[in-house]
Amino acid sequence: MRFGLVIALILLFFSGHKYHAPRGTGFVYVKAGRTLAPLINGGGQELGRRGGTENTPAMVAMARALRIAKEQEAKVVAQERAIKQAIIDHVSQFEHVKVFSGNDAGFAPHILCFAIVGVRGETIVHAFEKHDIFISTTSACSSKKAETSTLSAMGVDQHVAESAVRISLGDQNTMADAEEFNRVFDELYSNFTKIMG
């Protein structure tokens, strides 16, 4: 764990599409005094760190998108936390629901993870898809291989972890989205409880 913290202080990776920059853009923070071996050799681009033609328009667009994201950050975080709280307050009332994400400063404002214990996560995801609500069972960068989930690694019972789903919010989500999610949740939960007996 301590080694991981040291690494985190040396390199930080940012994907541009996470803040509405063009896909395929991103940047790396490298701690002063550290060097990286180039992945692509040749040419003198990017101070010898990467050969090939630089995509200047995409870099400019990425920088602009980051500037806009930072300018709107406080407003967006407050909006995401309000939407997240509306969903947490609603789903927490149900007997078979286990919420894993809090809504204080220790938790990402845009991620909500919960389980309907006894219903597989994939089943929950597909049920919401039929109502044009798209959630997921794992992080986007997760492997499809059968392996210990993050929740299981945190000590959550495997049976409960298999029921977990994740909602990812963004700056375009509104409180109306939370209200629609909660309405659909009620309908699906009623169906799930019939299956669970």
Query: Cα separations (Å) of 114 from 85, 111, 137, 155, 164?
Result: 13, 10, 10, 15, 5
Tally the C-alpha atoms within 13 A of residue 145's C-alpha that lie toward its C-beta.
3
Q: Is 113 known to be catalytic? A: no
For the record, the structure tokens of 23 come out as 């896909």
In 3D space, the residue among 12, 19, 13, 18 whose CA is nearest the CA of residue 72 turns out to be 19
Rounded to whole angstroms, how far apart are CA atoms 38 and 16? 20
Rounded to whole angstroms, how far apart are CA atoms 97 and 118? 9
Q: Which of 8, 74, 141, 195 is catalytic?
A: 141
In 3D space, the residue among 132, 149, 84 whose CA is nearest the CA of residue 110 turns out to be 84
In 3D space, the residue among 185, 141, 142 whose CA is nearest the CA of residue 161 turns out to be 142
Rounded to whole angstroms, how far apart are CA atoms 28 and 14? 6
Is 116:127 a contact under the CB 8 Å cutoff? Answer: no
Catalogue the active-site residues.
141
